[in-house]
């Protein structure tokens, strides 16, 4: 199993959610691109990170 932590920065706010854009590591392609997080959870966070673990 391998895990990777992906960093995101605020891209846009919608009515009920916040869109975050992935900040890829230099020289690497994005893993997820953009994600939506509900406003009740995101609050006023400008940056978030997400850890993804692959299971075989």
Q: pLDDT digit string (tens) for 27-48?
A: 999 999 999 999 999 999 999 9
Q: Taking 90 as the threshold, does the pLDDT of residue 1 lie above it?
A: no
Give the 3-state secondary structure percentages of the chain, helix then strand then coil, rounded to 5: 5, 55, 40
H-run or E-run covering 7: strand 2-13
Whole-number mean pLDDT of the chain? 93
Is residue 33 within 8 A of residue 48, CB to CB? The reply is no
pTM of the model: 0.87
Q: Which two tokens stand for residue 36?
A: 């939506």
Q: For the ranges 17-21, 33-37, 42-46, 52-56, which has the lowest average pLDDT?
A: 52-56
């Amino acid at each position: 199993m391998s895990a990777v932590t992906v960093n995101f920065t605020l891209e846009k706010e919608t009515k009920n959610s916040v869109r975050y854009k992935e900040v890829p590591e230099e020289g690497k392609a994005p893993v997820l691109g953009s994600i939506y997080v509900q406003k009740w959870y995101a609050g006023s966070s400008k940056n978030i990170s997400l850890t993804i673990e692959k299971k075989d």
